[in-house]
A and B are shown apart, each in its own frame.
Chain A
Amino acid sequence: MKYSYYPGCSLHTTAKEFDMSTKVVMRELGIELEELQDWSCCGGSVAAGVSHDVGMAMAARNVALAQKQNLDLLASCSGCYNKSARAAKALENETEKQKITAILSDMGISISDSNIRVRNVVDVLANDLDLTSYIQRPLNGLKVACYYGCLLTRPADIAGWDSPIFPMSMDRLAQACGAEVVDFRSKTKCCGGPILVSKQEVAFELTKQLLDEAQSLGADCIVLACPLCATNLELRQPEIEKKYSVSYQLPILYITELIGLALGLKPGKLGLNKHIVSTQSVLAKLGI
């Protein structure tokens, strides 16, 4: 199987380990990735709230480029995935399609009728193959909290491959890796990502609730698939610890890093040394 791979802005910067681990894990599983040529930002959760048409066109541009490569689009980042899938769905509506086509044609990009699908890496890993036969190093004894956040599985008419309220795909992937999954009730509660800068205090409160629950469940790490969630949960973790006088030092891993470890890949190749909150405790627990 081959996909046009859309890394998005974050995977080339703050979420480099998500990019690295996606690439090596997919190669290991025999899935080919061809980077989407000349991709642009999807506009995130913000752009369509400034102008609907601008937001849709930003996201649809990448869908049109994937059509040109004639490959299903694969995004690791939940946000890139969600906005691309939303644009692909909008293209099924005549009025939306006309508006988007006009803007893209001003960019010199055309939309074809080629029906490509937009997929997320979690969807592909959980639903297209059986991971158990690839496991080289079971993650026995590791307790993980799987955090889905909002854009990975919502809304159902855009994602639709797992429950929008209580999904299980990542939990099952982690179990297939041999890890123990804790019953993380807040797994789809929003971390406040899109308002992280403009309403920082609120975003910190929302994120703190997630860290508190994961810690109280005794999780060794949180596993996720969204760079914006990771920005809140990991990059801002030291600030949250300071603000509320608490201590977490809770490693935040991308699902592909967790799977990579179970596939027997070297931590350095997966980017585990690129974290701001050290992942050493996870590796120590696994004896790596």
Chain B
Amino acid sequence: MTGKTRKCFFGLKVDRQLDGDKMNRTFVDRVMTEGGEGVAIAACMQCGTCSGGCTNIDRMDLSPRTLVLMVQRGEWDKVLQSQSLWLCTSCYICTSRCPRGVRPSDVIEAVKAIAIRQGIENDSTRFNQIFVELIQKRGILFEPELMQKYGGISAMLEQAELGIKLALKGKMSPFPAKIQDPTTFSQALEKAAQS
């Protein structure tokens, strides 16, 4: 953490500037290990093109540009506490526009996974974990179960009208589908998640 904001000439905020000697390679590497080699965080030149096109920029506490800067500088607490992680819709606008190949959406995806592993808890982390857990269980997602596990009885009741309409149209089965060997599938993914 850099502490309070220091200003230099022309009102530029020093703690929002990219500064080579503030780069923290440990954090950058950690995100790259999670997100694969395609993530090129160090190449970011803070142009802000990612933020300019972002779907949910108006609602975010840290813009995608700032998030990448915080990762570069290893300001881990700010990154992990940011609501922006859960407002990102993974729409890839930022990644499509980035002139430096940083892939901000993949950076955010990797940070989300690290945040979940570090025990960050909110509606989004809970939903995402249940989603993955249910796919692991049968190989095919069963939506009524997702709604029930996430939102409980009240969510089921709230969605009952739509559910009945869908069932009448033959678009919602009361029985879940599954792959041929869900047990082996599930065990393999469980092992991968722990390694």
Q: Which residues of A are at the interface with B, using a C-beta cutoff of 8 A?
A: 9, 12-16, 38-41, 43-54, 56-58, 61, 90, 93, 95-96, 102-104, 106-108, 149-151, 154-156, 164-165, 188-190, 192-195, 197-199, 202, 206, 235, 273-276
Contact = CB atoms under 8 A, between A and B. Distances in A.
Interface of chain B, main secondary structure: helix
Given A9-B141, A150-B89, A164 B96 contact: yes
B36 A16 contact: no
A41 B135 contact: yes
B35 A52 contact: yes
Contacts, number: 181
4 closest residue pairs by CB, A with B: A106-B188, A150-B91, A190-B91, A154-B92
Contacts of B81: none
Nearest to A238: B162
Contact of A14 (B34, B89, B132, B166): B166
Contacts of B96: 154-156, 164-165
A48 B143 contact: no
Given A40-B185, A96-B36, A106-B184, A194 B89 contact: yes
A196 B177 CA distance: 23
Contacts of A107: 181, 184-185, 188
A106 B194 CA distance: 14
Contacts of B179: 38-40
Interface of B: 34-38, 55-56, 59, 86-87, 89-93, 95-97, 103, 105, 108-110, 112-113, 116, 123-124, 126-129, 131-132, 135-136, 139-141, 143, 146-147, 150-151, 162, 165-166, 169-173, 177, 179-181, 184-185, 187-189, 191-193, 195
Contacts of A61: 185
Contact of B112 (A44, A49, A206, A276): A49
A199 B87 contact: yes
8 contacts: A9-B141, A13-B172, A16-B169, A41-B139, A52-B35, A58-B135, A106-B191, A198-B127
A103 B140 contact: no
Contacts of A275: 169
A269 to B, nearest CB: 14
B112 A50 contact: yes
Nearest to B194: A51
Nearest to B151: A197
Contacts of A48: 109, 113
